[in-house]
Structure 1
Amino acid sequence: MTRSVYVTGIDRGDGRQVVELGVMELLTRQVDRVGVFRPLVHDGPDRLFDLLRARYRLSQDPATVYGLDYHEASALQAERGTDELVSRLVERFHRVAREYEVVLVLGTDFAATQLPDELSLNARLANEFGASVIPVVGGKGQTAESVRAEARNAHRAYEVLGCDVLTMVVNRVAAEDREAIAEGLAAQLPVPCYVLPDEPALAAPTVAQITAALGGTVLLGDDSGLARDALDFVFGGAMLPNFLGALTPGCMVVTPGDRADLVVGALAAHSAGTPPIAGVLLTLDERPGDSILTLAARLAPGTPVVSVPGRSFPTAAELFGLEGKLNAATPRKAETALGLFERHVDTAALLARMSVARSGRVTPMMFEHELLEQARAHRRRVVLPEGTEERVLRAADVLLRRDVCELTLLGDTDVIRKKAADLGIDLSATQLIDPATSELRQRFAERYAELRAHKGVSVELAYDVVADVNYFGTLMVREGLADGMVSGSVHSTAATIRPAFEIIKTRTDASIVSSVFFMCLADKVLVYGDCAVNPDPDAAQLSDIAVQSAATAARFGVEPRIAMLSYSTGTSGSGADVDKVREATELVRGARPDLRIEGPIQYDAAVEPSVAATKLPESEVAGRATVLIFPDLNTGNNTYKAVQRSAGAVAVGPVLQGLRKPVNDLSRGALVQDIVNTVAITAIQAQGEGA
C-alpha cells in the first residue's frame, strides 16, 4: 500500500512551503518514485509544484496532481454535501497513489477559499487517504506563550479528528524565542515538535519579483542580479555621504531617477563590497542619461537598475507589501529553505516516523541527497583554492545555504568579494585568504622547505611556491587548518594533485594513490577504478586499487562486490594482460579474504545476470558487481566516458584515494552540482580520517 504524508496547517501565513519542500527532500532520498497530490487548488500557476517538478525532476503529469479547484469544491459541497466532495477527492488521490511508492499531499491553504471548517476537511481527507499528518503552525509576530498554546491546540484538533499526527512543526517564530518554544512543546506534546525561526531571506522578494509586481523596466542587470533577494529597502533622499552610511547588505536602493549621484554612489559601494546591494529602483519614470548608465554598468556589471513609473511614496507602500515566494525561478530560496529545515528538524528521526521503506533502486538524485546528508552530519572544513571562479562561488553558495560544511576560499580577497557581490552571494560565514598576503605564508614556506629539503628546496624558493593557491591549500590540509581540499575547475589535474603527492603523501596502508568514479545509473550506483591517475598499473598496484576502491565504495554506502575486468572471463583467455588481472585478483584474495571478488571477468558478465549465469554460474559476484576495476587508464577512462554519455549516467569524481588526507580533483568542465558533490565527498572522507 502506498504510504502518504499530508502536510497541512491551521491558518494562512505559516510558511509551510518550507516544510513541504523539506519533506519532499526526505522522501526522495528514500524512494525513486514520489507522487504529489494537492486536493484543492486556486486558479493560476502552482508555484510550489513547479518548484518540486523542476528540482526533483518529477515526471508526473500535472493534470493528475490536482483534485478540484476551490470554486468547483465550494459549489460541489454546497450542492451535494461534504461526503460527495470528499468522495471525489479520494477517487482522484488514488489515481496518483496507484502509480507511486509514496505520495506527498499538500493541504489546503486557508486563503479565501469559502470552505467552512477547512481544518476538519484536511483532517478528514488525511484519514480517507490513509495519510499521516504533519500540521504546521505559524508563529510570526506572536509571543512564545501564544505560539505554544496554538501548537497544542492544533495537535489536539487533529488528534481528536482521528489523524495519525507524525510530528508538529512551528514555523516563523522569533529567533530569540525558538529555544524556549521548543523546550516547552517538547514537554507538552506526545509527538516530536520542531521549531523553525523566521528566515528573512525567505520572505524577501527577489529583484525580479519586485520588477514584475511594480511593472518595472530593467535598464541594467543580468539574470543572476535579478535573482538577488532584497533584504531591506533604503530610500535615497539625503546627500551622498549620509546616504552611503545608511546602506545595508542586500538592500534595494529606492531613489528618484534623477539622482544620478545616489545611483553611482550605491553601485560604487557595491563594487567595493561595502556593502553589496541587491539593486537600484528608480521612481518617477525618470531615467539617468546614457553616460551615467554606461558608468553604472562598468562599476557593477550585472547589478540591476530598474525604472518604475510610480512616485516614491506609493512605490514604498507596494514594496512593503511584497513577500518572497518559493518557486522554480528562485533556486537560492529553495536552498535556504532546505538548509533551515535540515538545521532545525531531526531528519533521521522524522524519516523513521514516516516509516517509508527505502527503495531497492538507488537513483542519482538519491545518491546526491545522501552525500549532502552524510557531510552535514559531522561538518568539516574544505578549502577551495579557486575562490575567484564563478562556478566555485555558486557551489559555495549552495553548500553554505544547505549547511553542508565550513569553507575556506583562496585568492585575491577583493576580487572574491566583488565577484560574490555581483552574483548576490553572501560569504560572511566563509573564511577568505589571499596566499600572497597571508600571515601563514612564511610558516608554510618553512614547512614546505622542511618537507622538500631532500630535493634542495630552500625557504626562499618555498616562499614563492606556497603563494600558489593549490600549494597553499594543500598545506592548510597538512597543517590541520582545513580537513580537505577540492580544486581543478580551472587547474590541470597535475597542478591539483602534485602538491598532495609532495606534502600530504600516501597512507601507510596504500602503495599508490588512485581514483574512482561513482557512476550513478538510473537504478544503481557503480564504482569505477582507476579511470584518472595510473596509466598502466602492475598486478600489485592493481590489487591495491581494488582494495582501496572497495573501501571507498563501502564508505559511501555501496556494498563492494569487486569485478577485476579483462577481455576474457575465468580461464577462457591467456596473455600478459589477462595474467596481470588474474594475479591481481589472487593477491586481493590472499590479502583480504573477506572481500568478494571475481576476475578476470568481462564487463557484461560482471553486471548482467543473464550473461553471468552462462559464463560463471557459481560466482557470487558475476552479474552483481558494484566495484569494477579496469586493467589500465586507457580502458577505464574511455569506458566511464562512454557510459556517462551513452547511458546518461551521472559521473561523480574522480575521487582520490590512498592519500593521508583528502584532496580531490575536478574536471575543468565541472558543473556547479559536480563541485557541490565533490566537496561533500571530500568532507565525508575527512570524517573517515578523523580529521
Structure 2
Amino acid sequence: MAQSLYLLSTGPRSGKAAVALGVLELLARHVDRLAVFRPLVEDGDRPDGIAELLRTRYSLAQSPEAGAGATYEEAALLSAGGTGPLVERVMERYAALAERADLVLSIGSDYTGPSPSTELELNAVLAANLGAPVITLVPALGRRPHEVAGDAAQALGVLRDNGCILVATIVNRAAPETADVLREQQRVSAGDAPTYVLPELPLLSAPTVEEVSARLRAAHLNGDAASLQREVESFVVGSGHVDAVLPLLRDGTLLVTAGDRTDLIVTAAAAAASPALPTPAGVLLTLGATPSPHIEELLRPSGLPVLMTEPDTYGTLHALEGLRGHIHPTSTRKVAAALGLFADNVDADELASRVRLTRSEAVTPLMFSAQLLERARSDRRHIVLPEGDDDRVLRAAEEIVRRGVARITLLGDPDAVAARAGQLGIDLRGVEVLDPTTSPLRKEFAETYAALRAHKGVTLDAAYDVVVDPSYFGTLLVHAGIVDGMVSGAAHTTAATIRPALEIIKTAPGVSLVSSTFLMCLSDRVLAFADCAVNPDPGPEQLAEIALSTAQTAVAFGIEPRVALVSYSTGTSGSGADVEKVRRAAELVAERRPDLPLAGPIQYDAAVDPGVGATKLPGNPVSGHATVLIFPDLNTGNTTYKAVQRAAGAIAVGPVLQGLRRPVNDLSRGCTVPDIVHTVAITAVQAQEEAAAG
C-alpha cells in the first residue's frame, strides 16, 4: 500500500507551491513512484496549478484528472448533510491513484472556497481518513509572531482532535527579522515535531511579464517567448525626465510609461544592454501608442520585452493591483529559487526520518538526480565554467547558484557576460566572472605552465599566450586549488578539455590513463558504461585500468560495483584476439582487486538480464546483475551507450572523466542546461571524494 503524506496550510497565501516543490524533491530522493493528490480543487475543467507544476516537473505517471478529489462546488453539495459523502468521494479517488504509486503527497485546500473558516477542520478530517501524517504550513507574511504561533497552535489542536500525526511545522514567508523569534516560539509549543522557518523571497510571488500581459490583455511588441518569463519585482512609472527615471530602475523593474515617451523607451533598452546598469524586466507602454519602426528596430537587439496596452498609466496600474505571480512548469528561476530556499532552511534528513520513508530498492532517473544534487549541496564546492559566452552555461550557472549546488566562476569578459545575461534576463548575482586576458593570475599561470612544459620547449612568452585560452586558464585554476573542479565542452571538443588537464593536472597516483564513464539512468537502476568517449582501442592493461577506475567512480555515486567486461562471447565459448584481450583484462582486474565481483568476457545480454545470465554463465554473482559494464573499445562503447539511451529511453549523464588528480569533466556540444547542472554536481561530488581521500 502506498505511503501517504499530507501538506496542510492554515490559511491563504502560504506559498504552498514553493514548499510542495521542496517536499517532493525530498521525497524523490527516497521513493520511486510518486503521485500528487489535491483533495479539493477550484475548477474541475482545468488542471490544478500546483498539481500540474509537480506533475510536469517530476514527470509523474498520472493524468491531471487522476490527482483531483472534488471541486469546491461538489464539496458543498456533498457536505450538505455532513462531511461523510465528501470524505468517501475523496477517499475513492485517492485510492485509485494510490494503487499506482509508492507514495502520495496530498496537498490541502487553498482557502478560496465558499467556507474558508471550515477548511482547516476539513483538511484534518481528510488527512485522518487517508491515514496521512501531516506537515502543517503556516503563512507568516505581514503577520506578528504571536499570530503565527496562534495559527500553528490551533492547527496542532485540530490535528490532535482528529487523530492526525504532526510530522513538522513549516512557517513560510517570514520576515527575516522575525525568523529567530518564530523558531523559538514554535520550538516551545510544537512538542517533539520540528519547526522550520522559511524567509519571504519576493521573487517567488513576483508576476512574470507574461502574467502582466495576460492580466492587461496587452500586445507584445518586442522580446522573444523566453523574455516573457522574466519576473517583475517592482514597477516604476516613467513620468519624469530620463535623469529622474534612470536611477529608479532596478533589476526586475517594469517601466510603465506612455507610448510616446521615446526617450524612456530608448533608455530602458540601453540599460538592458549595459553591464554597468540594472536590467529592467521590461517596458509597458500605455495609451495605446506604439513606437515608430525606427525605435522598434533599435529595441530588437536588446531582447527587452515591450508590451502595449490601451488604458492610461493610472488605469493600467490600477488594473495590476493585487497581481501575484505563480510558479509554473516553465518558471525555471522560481523553481530553482524555491528548491534552494527549502534546502537551506529545512533539515532534509530529519524531515525524511519523521516521515519514516521506506527507501526503494529501485533507482530511477529522478531519484538519482535528486540524490546527486543533494549530495553536491551538502558540501558545496567551487567549480569553474570556462565557456561564459554560451547561453546554456549562463542559464545553468544561475540555476546552480540559486539551488546552492556549487559556487561558480565563469570565464569571459565581465562586461560581455553581464550584457548577454541582461539580454537573456539571467540573474548572475553570486557568480564570479574572470577574464583570463586581464586577470592578475595570468602572469602566475604563465610561469606555472612554462615550468610544467619546459621539457617540451615551452617558453614564458609562449605560455603567456597559451594561458588566456579559457580551457587552459580554467585548468590552471583547478591546479592552483583556487577552484575545486572544471566543467567544459559545451562549445569545445573533448580533446580541448582533456589536453590541458593531461598537461597540467596529470593523472592520479597509480593511474596511467584518463578514461570516461557514462552514468546510464534506466527506468529502475543506474549503470556505469566505460569507456565510451576517450580511449579508441585500449589494450588489456588499459582495459583493466578502465575497469578499476570505473568501479571506483561507481562507488562514489552510490552504485554497488559488479563489473562485467563485455565481449561478443561469454566465458570460454569463444576465441580470437578480441576475446583474449578482454579475458586477459579480466585476469588483471582479478589480481588487483580480488574482492571485486567480476565477470568477463561476457556478452551484454548475459551481463544485464538475469535469465540469460543464469543460462550462459551460471553461478557467477555478476551475470545478469552487472552494474559496471566495460566495453572492449570506443566503437563498441559509444555505439552501445547511444543505442541504450535511445531504445530504452535512458538518461546518459556524462561523460564523467576519471583518472585525473583533480576533477575535470567534459560536456557534449549538444548538452542542455540540465546536463550542465548535473555535470557540475558530479564534478562537485568528485571534489568531495578527493578531499575526503586526503
Distance 2:114 2:361 in 1: 41
**Which secondary structure does the structure 2 equivalent of 1:661 belong to?**
coil
Provide the residue aligned with 2:260 in structure 1. Answer: 258
Distance, in Å, in 2 between the alignment partners of 1:147 and 1:121 is 20
- Code of the aligned partner of 2:60: L
1:283 to 282, 286, 303: 286
Unaligned 5+ segments in structure 1 are none
Please give the per-residue CA displacement for 1:167-203, whole angstroms capped at 9, x wherever unaligned: 0000000122223322332243221111000001001
Aligned position for 2:297: 294
Query: What does residue 247 of structure 1 align with?
Result: 249
CA deviation after TM superposition for structure 1 residue 682, in Å: 0.4
Distance in 1, Cα, partners of 2:555 & 2:57: 28
Question: How many equivalent pairs are there?
Answer: 688
Asked if the contact 2:120–2:155 (Cα under 8 Å) also holds between the matched residues in 1, the reply is: no
Show structure 2 runs of 5+ residues with no match. none
- Checking the alignment, whether the CA contact within 8 Å between 1:74 and 1:115 is kept in structure 2 is no
**CA deviation map 1:597-634 (0-9, x unaligned):** 11111111111111111111110110100000111111
Does the 8 Å CA contact 2:561/2:597 hold for their aligned counterparts? yes
Q: Are the counterparts in 1 of residues 176 and 200 from structure 2 also a CA contact under 8 Å?
A: yes
Listed one character per residue, the Cα deviations across residues 117-168 of structure 1 (whole Å, up to 9, x for unaligned) are: 2111111110100001011000001233433343233323323332111100
- State which of 220, 223, 226 in structure 1 corresponds to 2:225: 223
Higher deviation after alignment, 508-517 or 153-162: 153-162
In the alignment, which residue of structure 2 is the partner of 1:405? Answer: 406
Deviations 1:40-96 (A, max 9, x none): 111244111221121111221222211111111112211x32222222222222121
Map 1:267-346 → 2, pairs under 5 A: 267-273=269-275, 274-298=277-301, 300=302, 302-346=303-347
Q: CA deviation at 1:5?
A: 0.6
CA distance in 1, matches of 2:203, 2:133: 30
The alpha carbon displacement at 1:116 in A equals 5.5
2:105 equivalent to 1:104:
yes
Q: CA deviation at 1:445?
A: 0.7
Match of 2:380? Answer: 379
Give the CA deviation at 1:363: 1.4
Task: After superposition, give the CA deviation of every residue in 1:548-572 in whole Å (9 maximum; x if it has no partner).
Answer: 1001001101110000111111111
Counterpart of 1:186? 187
Taking the TM superposition and a 5 Å limit, the aligned residue runs for 1:70-109 are 70-78=72-80, 80-109=81-110
Whether 2:198 is the aligned partner of 1:196: answer yes
2: CA distance between counterparts of 1:107 and 1:315?
A: 34
Give how far 1:115 is off: 6.0
Is residue 257–residue 282 contact of structure 1 (8 Å, CA) maintained in 2?
yes
Kept in 1, the 8 Å contact 2:42–2:113? The answer is no
Structure 1 residue 245: Cα displacement: 1.3
Deviation at 1:677, TM superposition (A): 0.9
TM-score when normalising by structure 1: 0.97
Contact conserved, 1:550 with 1:562, CA < 8 A, in 2?
Answer: yes
Q: Read off the aligned partner of 1:511 and give its amino acid letter.
A: S
* Residue of structure 2 equivalent to 1:658: 659
Identity %: 52
Distance 1:268 1:189 in 2: 53
Distance of 1:92 and 1:492 partners within structure 2: 52
C-alpha separation in 2, matches of 1:625 and 1:345: 37
Instruction: State the Cα distance separating 1:33 from its structure 2 match.
Output: 1.4
RMSD between superposed Cα atoms in Å: 1.4
Give the equivalent residue in structure 1 for 2:643.
Answer: 642
1:271 maps to a residue whose letter is: A
Cα pair 1:204 1:323 within 8 Å, conserved: yes
1:277 is displaced (CA, Å) by 1.0
Compute the displacement of 1:509 (Å): 2.5
User: Quick check: 2:10–2:151 contact (8 Å CA) kept in 1?
Assistant: no
CA distance in 1, matches of 2:185, 2:485: 40
1:11 equivalent to 2:8? Answer no
- Compared CA separation, residues 115 and 434, structure 1 to 2 (3 A): closer
Indicate conservation of the 8 Å contact 1:40/1:67, yes or no.
Answer: yes
Match of 2:234 in 1: 232
Spell out the pairing of 1:268-667 with structure 2 (5 A cutoff).
268-273=270-275, 274-298=277-301, 300=302, 302-667=303-668
Q: Distance in 2 between matches of 1:16 and 1:640?
A: 40
Q: Deviations over 1:503-559 (max 9, x none)?
A: 100000212111100111111111001111111111111111111100100110111
Q: Does 1:61 align with 2:66?
A: no
Task: Give the superposition deviation at 1:424.
Answer: 1.1
Residues of 1 paired with 2:181 and 2:425: CA distance? 34
Establish whether residue 52 from structure 1 lines up as the match of residue 54 from structure 2: yes
1:167 aligned counterpart, secondary structure: strand
SS in 2 for 1:30: coil
Preserved CA contact (<8 Å) 1:477 1:483 = yes
TM-score between the two structures when normalised by the length of structure 2: 0.97
Q: How big is each residue's C-alpha offset from its partner over 1:430-449, in whole Å with a ceiling of 9 and x where there is no partner? A: 00011111111111111111
Match of 1:26 in 2: 26
